[in-house]
Amino acid sequence: MLNAGIVGFGVMGKTHCKCYQTLPGVRVAAICETGDIKKTVGTSQAAANLGKLDAEMNIDNVRLYSDFDKMLREEKLDMISIALPTFMHTDFTVKAFEAGIHVLCEKPMALTLLECRRMIDAAEKSGKVLQIGHCVRFWPEYVKARQFINSGEYGQVRAATFQRLSAFPTWGWKNWQQNGSKNGGAMMDLHIHDTDIILHWFGVPASVFCTAARGPSGDYDHIVTQYSYPDRVVTAEASWLMAPGFGFRMGFNIALEKATIIFDSACEPSLKIYTNDNKTYTPEPEKKDGYWFEIEYFVKTILGEKQPQIITPQQSYDAVRIAIAEKTSANEHRKVGLSEVS
Ligand SMILES: NC(=O)c1ccc[n+]([C@@H]2O[C@H](COP(=O)([O-])OP(=O)(O)OC[C@H]3O[C@@H](n4cnc5c(N)ncnc54)[C@H](O)[C@@H]3O)[C@@H](O)[C@H]2O)c1
C-alpha cells in the first residue's frame, strides 16, 4: 500500500484526495492544512467546474497536521500532492524531495524559471518522481482528439484554436487567487493549461505573439496568443473577465486536412468530429476526469509500470517558459522568440 500525503486542503487538495481514495493500492495517510480542515470539509465553495468535492471523500482515518515539517518527520509517506497556492510550490516541493518523497505538484510549476529549475534539481538529486498537475494532458476530450490527430488518418493539423473562459475566481486562501503577484494572473493560472496542451501536441513554438488585458488580478487576465509553427496556425484565448454568472467554459476547434474536431464543454455532446466525406462522429470520452487520470499516471510512474510518457518536468518548465514569453510579448507589443527566454 502506498501512503499519500497532501499539503494544502483547498479546492485542489480535496480534488487530489478524492482521486487517491478511488485508486487501488493507495491510501491518503496524512493531510497538512493550516486552516480548519474539519470546518472546511462540508462547506467548501469549490469553483463551479470542480463540482461537489466534500461528499466524495472520507478523511475520518487520515492523520491531520498544520505543520509541514512535523508531517514529514512523523509520517512515512511515499508520495505527496503539493496543492498549495502557486507562489509556495517551490519551497514545499524542495522540502518533500529532501525527505525522499515523490511529488505531484499542482500547475503551474512555479512563477519563475529559477524556481522551476530548483524543483527539477531537487527532484534529480533525490531520484524521486516529479510530476506537475497539467491535468488537461489527461482530460478525456483532449486525449480523444489527440488520438484522432495522431492516427494520421485525416491528415495534418492545418489550424488549431483553444479557448478557456471563466469568471474571476472568488475562492482561495487569503485572497491569493485574486492577486496576480501570487498566481501570475489568468496567464499563469488559467491560460497555461492551453499553453501546455499546445506544447504537448505541437512542441515548443519558434515564437509567440500575445495581446493581453490586465484585469482585477493586477496581471494579465485576458490573453490572446498566436504560437508560431512552420506548418500550421495555432492560437489560444483565455479570460478571467467573464461576468460572474458565466461560470467556466473550455474548448477547441481543430482543422485537419480531412476533418474538423470541435470541443465545447458547454455543449452536449461536447466533442464532435466532422469529416470531409460528410460523416459526423460524437466520440464518447472516458467518464472519469483528467484529475483522476493524472493521479493514476503519477501512481503508475512511482510503481514503475510501463506506460506511454505523457508529461515530464522539463515540459512543465517549458510551459512556464512559453507563458513567460507570452507575458514579454504582451508587455513589449512584439513577437518574442522562445530562444530569448531561458
Ligand atoms: N489543475 C487545475 O485544474 C487547478 C485548478 C485550480 C487550482 N489549481 C492549482 O492548485 C493550487 C492550489 O489552488 P487551490 O485553488 O486549491 O487553492 P486554495 O486557496 O483553495 O487552497 C490552498 C490551501 O492551502 C492552505 N495552506 C496555505 N498555507 C499553508 C501551509 N503553510 N501549510 C498547509 N496548508 C496551507 C490554505 O489554507 C488553503 O486551504 C494552485 O497552484 C492552483 O494554480 C489547479
pLDDT tens, position by position, 82-120:
999 999 999 999 999 999 999 999 999 999 999 999 999
Q: Tell me what the mean pLDDT of segment 11-33 comes to.
A: 95
Q: State if residue 131 touches ligand 1 by the CB under 6 angstroms criterion.
A: no
- 40 band by pLDDT with thresholds 50, 70 and 90: low
* pLDDT per residue as tens digits for the range 296-317: 999 999 999 999 999 999 999 9
Of 135, 160, 180, which residue sits at a domain end? 135
Contact 226/330 with Cβ under 8 angstroms?
no
Q: Tell me what the mean pLDDT of segment 242-258 comes to.
A: 97
Q: Is residue 294 in some structural domain? A: no
Q: State if residue 87 touches ligand 1 by the CB under 6 angstroms criterion.
A: no
Q: How far apart are CA 23 and CA 302, in angstroms?
A: 14
Q: What is the mean pLDDT of the chain?
A: 94
Q: Does one domain contain both 222 and 251?
A: yes
pLDDT at 263 over 60: yes
Q: Does one domain contain both 161 and 215?
A: yes
Q: How far apart are CA 265 and CA 250, in angstroms?
A: 5
In this prediction, residue 65 carries a pLDDT of 96
Q: Is residue 292 in some structural domain? A: no
pLDDT at 24 over 70: yes
Cell numbers that stand for 258 in this block: 480531412
Q: Does one domain contain both 198 and 263?
A: yes
Q: Is residue 15 in some structural domain? A: yes
In this prediction, residue 25 carries a pLDDT of 94
Q: Which amino acid is at 188?
A: M
Q: Does one domain contain both 142 and 96?
A: no
Q: State if residue 107 touches ligand 1 by the CB under 6 angstroms criterion.
A: yes
Q: Does one domain contain both 154 and 94?
A: no
Q: Is residue 51 in some structural domain? A: yes
In this prediction, residue 43 carries a pLDDT of 45
Q: Is residue 299 in some structural domain? A: no
Q: Is residue 295 in some structural domain? A: no
pLDDT at 51 over 90: no
Q: State if residue 11 touches ligand 1 by the CB under 6 angstroms criterion.
A: yes
Q: Does one domain contain both 255 and 333?
A: yes
Q: Does one domain contain both 164 and 280?
A: yes
In this prediction, residue 198 carries a pLDDT of 98
Q: Tell me what the mean pLDDT of segment 48-73 comes to.
A: 80
In this prediction, residue 58 carries a pLDDT of 84
Q: Does one domain contain both 119 and 149?
A: no
In the DSSP assignment, the letter for residue 238 is: E
CB atoms closer than 10 angstroms to residue 218? 12
Q: Is residue 281 in some structural domain? A: yes
61 CA → ligand 1 middle, Å: 22
Any idea what the Cα angle at residue 139 is, between residues 272 and 83, rounded to 5°?
155
Q: Is residue 16 in some structural domain? A: yes
Closest CA to 188 of 93, 330, 342: 330
Q: Which domain holds residue 75?
A: 2-135
| 185: CATH | 3.30.360.10
- 171 band by pLDDT with thresholds 50, 70 and 90: confident
Cell numbers that stand for 291 in this block: 484529475
Classify 308 as helix, strand or coil: coil
In this prediction, residue 285 carries a pLDDT of 85
Q: State if residue 289 touches ligand 1 by the CB under 6 angstroms criterion.
A: no
185 CA → ligand 1 middle, Å: 15
Q: How far apart are CA 211 and CA 36, in angstroms?
A: 41
Cell numbers that stand for 279 in this block: 460523416
Indicate the pairing of strand 248-256 with strand 157-167.
antiparallel
329 CA → ligand 1 middle, Å: 28
Q: State if residue 186 touches ligand 1 by the CB under 6 angstroms criterion.
A: no
Q: State if residue 173 touches ligand 1 by the CB under 6 angstroms criterion.
A: yes
Closest CA to 78 of 310, 306, 299: 299
Return the residue matching grid coordinates 483532449: 142
Q: Does one domain contain both 95 and 148?
A: no
Q: Whose CA is nearest to atom 7 of ligand 1?
A: 12
- State percent of the chain over pLDDT 70: 95
Report in angstroms the alpha-carbon separations of 75 from 32, 33, 99, 125: 11, 15, 10, 21
Q: Which amino acid is at 339?
A: S
Q: Whose CA is nearest to atom 21 of ligand 1?
A: 10
Of 116, 135, 154, which residue sits at a domain end? 135
Q: Does one domain contain both 192 and 47?
A: no
* pLDDT per residue as tens digits for the range 137-167: 999 999 999 999 999 999 999 999 999 999 9
Closest CA to 145 of 266, 154, 14, 287: 154
Cell numbers that stand for 100 in this block: 525522499
In the DSSP assignment, the letter for residue 80 is: E
Cross-strand bridge partners of residue 256: 157
pLDDT at 42 over 90: no
* pLDDT per residue as tens digits for the range 177-222: 999 999 999 999 999 999 999 999 999 999 999 999 999 999 999 9
In this prediction, residue 60 carries a pLDDT of 86
Q: Which amino acid is at 151?
A: S
Q: Considering its fold, how many domains does the chain have in total?
A: 2
Q: How far apart are CA 253 and CA 15, in angstroms?
A: 28
In this prediction, residue 227 carries a pLDDT of 98
Cross-strand bridge partners of residue 264: 251
89 CA → ligand 1 middle, Å: 10
Contact 8/83 with Cβ under 8 angstroms?
yes
Closest CA to 219 of 278, 148, 168: 168
* pLDDT per residue as tens digits for the range 224-240: 999 999 999 999 999 99
In this prediction, residue 38 carries a pLDDT of 67
Q: Does one domain contain both 321 and 207?
A: yes
Q: Tell me what the mean pLDDT of segment 38-53 comes to.
A: 51
Probe residue for ligand 1, chosen from 33, 92, 183, 250 as the CB with the greatest number of ligand atoms within 8 Å: 33
CB atoms closer than 10 angstroms to residue 219? 21
In the DSSP assignment, the letter for residue 258 is: S
338 CA → ligand 1 middle, Å: 30
Of 117, 135, 153, which residue sits at a domain end? 135
Q: Does one domain contain both 204 and 329?
A: yes
Query: 57-61, 248-252, 255-259, 277-281: which has the minimum mean pLDDT?
Result: 57-61
Q: Which atom of ligand 1 is nearest to the CA of 105?
A: 41
| 81: CATH | 3.40.50.720
